[in-house]
């Protein structure tokens, strides 16, 4: 084996100075950018093709793809995180656009005291009482898959993919 | 990187039949699923964490438990060099398998349907590299804390705790608990949104958080290793 780093003065327990400096610098940068982005949120690319509720259901019936309802709210932090990490990510958005008919329903209860009729009706139908809630509703009206909360990008994409494949298999053999 | 230490880790991993079988399954099954189910796309390949785990679990703890670490550190090698070599070796090994998996997925989809968008594939493969080296750094930290395969148990427990905190925070509308849970989740599942960077709308705080987590994990792993007193008489 090569000899120990001579710069360490022979000690095998030396801590590389560059690592200390890098860790401190990135920690400062993390705090600074976090504060900055809280005041000036970065613009997010919209890559998922959201449909209005009625049009989405019609498209679901004609294509056989399940509807993916995204129940969210403007004040909901995890919803914004999910938007940033999942819906603004190209590969995740491609998968969502390919497997589902995406429909977004934004809650306005806190801001306006009531919701648009279609949002209220769908919230009642799927008993939505927390945000974000994602519902995968198969086109044949069978049992929907409900995902409450944002479990992180990887876990969410796994759950969505499983629900999408299940709905696809229920629809018929894959060509 | 100390090549001798790196080769030692690769040999350890390839000598374990369980790890080799898991790697083989991970390399072949997701690309097959990707080719068989149209519309599934890159989501079938999922993230790079499982592949990284096969290389990273027990990367330091197993050496501690088996007594190999005493022998390694009896040589003129610094403890930080040991940690970095293990981290890089596990990361590079997982990267090679990850790239092979993505390449196989691309080839199978190209044969069965039409070739996937090469730009999306490249971004996906590059994003995987960040995931792999990030999570291997986390495992380096956990493995320095726990002997044997205890790092995997600790990783699972922390993930569950983070998930529960996040859920409780969301349901009870307690922002601080939700935030803590999400930060823990982000620490355990590090990633960089390359698509946002390419689109010109990067989240600088997310990038800084990734770099900060990675360097802090390695730094703490080195500190923990430096504090370890290894008995040469044990066993």
Where residue A133 sits, what CATH number does that domain have?
A: 3.40.30.10
Residue A68 included in any domain: yes
The residue assigned the tokens 């960089």 is B192
Contact A19 B211 (CB under 8 A): no
Asked if A67 and A39 sit in the same domain, the reply is no
Cβ under 8 Å to A: B residues 160-179:
163, 166-167, 170-171, 175, 178-179
Asked if A57 and A19 sit in the same domain, the reply is no
Contact A175 B79 (CB under 8 A): no
Residue B20 included in any domain: yes
Asked if A22 and A98 sit in the same domain, the reply is no
Asked if A37 and A107 sit in the same domain, the reply is no
Contact B222 A15 (CB under 8 A): yes
What average pLDDT does range B206-210 have in this prediction?
Answer: 91
Asked if A57 and A39 sit in the same domain, the reply is no
Q: Which two tokens stand for residue A110?
A: 């806190």
Full residue range of the structural domain in which residue B69 is found = 3-148+219-227
What average pLDDT does range B99-105 have in this prediction?
Answer: 92
The ipTM, to two decimals, is 0.84
Tell me the pLDDT of chain A (175 aa) as tens digits.
444 454 445 678 888 899 999 999 999 999 999 888 878 877 666 789 999 988 888 888 888 889 999 999 888 878 888 888 888 877 788 888 888 999 999 998 888 888 888 888 999 999 888 889 999 999 888 889 999 888 877 788 888 888 888 877 776 554 4
Distance from the Cα of A54 to chain B's closest Cα (Å) equals 23
Nearest-5° Cα angle at B198, B195 to B200: 110
Residue B211 included in any domain: no
Contact A98 B78 (CB under 8 A): no
Which DSSP letter does residue B41 get?
A: G
Asked if A37 and A93 sit in the same domain, the reply is no
How far is residue A1 CA from its own chain's centroid?
47
Residue B98 included in any domain: yes
Looking at per-residue pLDDT, the higher value among B235 and B148 belongs to B148
| Number of Cβ within a 10 Å radius of residue A144 | 16
Asked if A157 and A86 sit in the same domain, the reply is yes
The pLDDT tens digits for B13-52 are: 999 999 999 999 999 999 988 888 776 777 778 788 999 9
Domain count, chain A: 2
Domain count, chain B: 1
Highest mean pLDDT among A20-24, B102-106, B117-121 belongs to A20-24
Do the beta carbons of residue B78 and residue A8 sit within 8 Å?
A: yes
Give residue A112's pLDDT: 85
Asked if A30 and A103 sit in the same domain, the reply is no
* Strand boundaries in A120-168, DSSP class E: 133-137, 145-148
Residue A1 included in any domain: no
Residue B66 included in any domain: yes
Do the beta carbons of residue B51 and residue B132 sit within 8 Å?
A: yes
Contact A85 B79 (CB under 8 A): no
| Number of Cβ within a 10 Å radius of residue A50 | 16
Classified as helix, coil or strand, A135 is strand
Residue A89 included in any domain: yes
Give residue B58's pLDDT: 93
Asked if A63 and A136 sit in the same domain, the reply is yes
Compute the CA torsion angle B127, B128, B131, B135 (nearest 10 deg). -170
Asked if A25 and A68 sit in the same domain, the reply is no
Full residue range of the structural domain in which residue A109 is found = 53-171
Do the beta carbons of residue B43 and residue A161 sit within 8 Å?
A: yes
Residue A4 included in any domain: no
Residue that is last in its domain, among A6, A22, A43: A43
Residue B40 included in any domain: yes
Task: State pTM to two decimals.
Answer: 0.76
Asked if A32 and A110 sit in the same domain, the reply is no
Distance from the Cα of A90 to chain B's closest Cα (Å) equals 6
The pLDDT tens digits for B44-98 are: 787 889 999 999 999 999 998 888 888 888 888 899 999 999 999 999 999 999 9
Sort out which chain A residues have CB atoms less than 8 A from B211's CB and list them.
22, 26, 29-30
Asked if A38 and A59 sit in the same domain, the reply is no
Residue A93 included in any domain: yes
Residue B180 included in any domain: no
């Amino acid at each position: 084996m090569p000899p120990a780093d001579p710069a360490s003065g022979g000690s095998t327990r030396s801590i590389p100075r560059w690592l200390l400096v890098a860790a401190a610098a990135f920690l400062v940068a993390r705090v600074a950018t976090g504060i900055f982005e809280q005041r000036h949120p970065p613009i997010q690319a919209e890559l998922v093709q959201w449909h209005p509720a009625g049009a989405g259901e019609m498209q679901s019936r004609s294509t056989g793809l399940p509807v993916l309802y995204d129940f969210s709210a403007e004040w909901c932090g995890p919803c914004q995180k999910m938007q940033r990490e999942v819906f603004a990510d190209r590969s995740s958005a491609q998968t969502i656009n390919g497997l589902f008919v995406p429909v977004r329903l934004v809650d306005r209860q806190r801001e306006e005291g009531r919701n648009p009729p279609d949002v209220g009706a769908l919230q009642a139908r799927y008993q939505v009482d927390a945000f974000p809630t994602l519902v995968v509703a198969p086109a044949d009206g069978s049992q929907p898959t409900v995902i409450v909360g944002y479990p992180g990008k990887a876990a969410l994409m796994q759950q969505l993919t499983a629900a999408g494949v299940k709905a696809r298999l229920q629809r018929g053999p894959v060509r | 990187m100390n090549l001798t230490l790196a080769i030692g880790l690769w040999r350890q991993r390839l000598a374990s039949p369980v790890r080799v079988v898991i790697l083989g399954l991970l390399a072949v099954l997701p690309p097959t699923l990707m080719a068989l189910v149209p519309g599934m796309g890159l989501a079938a390949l999922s993230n790079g964490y499982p592949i990284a785990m096969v290389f990273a679990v027990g990367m330091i703890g197993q050496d501690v438990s088996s007594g190999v670490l005493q022998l390694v550190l009896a040589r003129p090698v610094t403890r930080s060099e040991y940690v970095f070599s293990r981290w890089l070796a596990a990361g590079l090994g997982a990267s090679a398998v990850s790239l092979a998996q993505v390449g196989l997925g691309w080839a199978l989809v190209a044969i069965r349907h039409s070739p996937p968008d090469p730009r999306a594939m490249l971004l996906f493969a590059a994003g995987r590299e960040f995931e792999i080296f990030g999570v291997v750094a986390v495992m380096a930290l956990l493995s320095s804390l726990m002997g044997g395969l205890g790092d995997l148990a600790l990783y699972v427990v922390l993930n569950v705790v983070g998930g529960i905190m996040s859920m409780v925070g969301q349901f009870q509308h307690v922002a601080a608990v939700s935030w803590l849970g999400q930060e823990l989740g982000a620490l355990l599942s590090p990633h960089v949104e390359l698509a946002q960077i390419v689109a010109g709308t990067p989240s600088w705080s997310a990038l800084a958080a990734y770099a900060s987590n990675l360097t802090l994990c390695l730094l703490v792993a080195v500190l923990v290793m430096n504090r370890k007193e290894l008995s040469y008489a044990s066993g």
